[in-house]
Amino acid sequence: MTDFDSRTMREACGSFATGVTVITTSSDEGDHGMTANAFMSVSLDPPLISISLDRNARMLGRIRASGRYAVNVLADDMEALAWHFAGRHNPELAGVLERREGLPVVPGAASVFLAEVAQEVEAGDHTLFIGRVTSISRCPEAAPLLFCGGKFHRLPS
């Protein structure tokens, strides 16, 4: 028994600053992307990462169909992209993705991880996709876009 509701849980988790990512994949339905901050490194050897998707997210079935995904860590000048892939479609950003090793990726992202699904874990109302990293690219001069308290933030320069 808990003495709090899901809103309290969401708000408390919102006080934890995270980076902002766009998760992308490609399936028979085409390319798809969604903004997410539920991403983490799992292991260095072997190289594993994890993303967490709501069981109702359209991306869930697409990653299952593809067996692969990319995690694009957004740079601090990419807030418009974060909103675009969070459901606020911007026609100027349609077609922004480029292809890398058969997956759609965000050009200019601070980091891009390409991964093959190694394991799927059901966890409450979410599914964790643990992916074996097959490729990494970085833009070392790019500062990350941050999210905390329901707002985007940037590191001080």
What's the CATH number where 112 sits? 2.30.110.10
Query: What's residue 106's pLDDT?
Result: 97
**Looking at per-residue confidence, does 94 or 127 come out higher?**
127
Average pLDDT of the segment spanning 57-67: 95
Does the residue 3 lie in any domain? no
Residue 145 lies in a domain: yes
- Asked if pLDDT for residue 5 goes beyond 90, the answer is no
Question: Is residue 117 scored above 80 in pLDDT?
Answer: yes
Could you tell me if 53 and 127 are in contact, meaning their C-beta atoms sit under 8 angstroms apart?
yes
Domain assignment of residue 72, given as a range = 20-77+97-151
Cross-strand bridge partners of residue 51: 39, 129
Q: What is the pLDDT of residue 25?
A: 98
Residue 15 included in any domain: no
| pLDDT bracket for residue 1 (50, 70, 90) | low
Question: Which strands make up the sheet holding 21-27, listed edge to edge?
Answer: 30-36, 21-27, 68-73, 111-123, 126-138, 48-54, 39-43
Residue 14 within any structural domain of the chain: no
Quick check: is 68 in a domain?
A: yes
Dihedral, CA of residue 91, residue 93, residue 97 and residue 98, to nearest 10: 100
Strands (E), 2-155: 18-19, 21-27, 30-36, 39-43, 48-54, 68-73, 98-100, 103-105, 111-123, 126-138, 145-148, 151-154
Please give the share of the chain, as a percent, with pLDDT higher than 90.
82
Tell whether the model's pLDDT for residue 16 goes beyond 80.
no
Phi, psi of 25 (to 5 degrees): -155, 170
* 113, 51 contact by CB (below 8 A): no
The count of structural domains within the chain is: 1
Give the model's pLDDT for residue 149.
87
Q: Is 106 within 8 Å of 141 (Cβ atoms)?
A: no
Residue 95 has pLDDT above 70, yes or no: yes
Position 140 in a domain: yes
Residue 8 belongs to some domain of the structure: no
- Average pLDDT for the chain: 93
Average pLDDT of the residues in 107-116:
97
- Residue 15, token pair as written in the block: 């006080």
Is the residue at 126 inside a domain?
Answer: yes
Model pLDDT, residue 13:
75
pLDDT of residue 72: 98
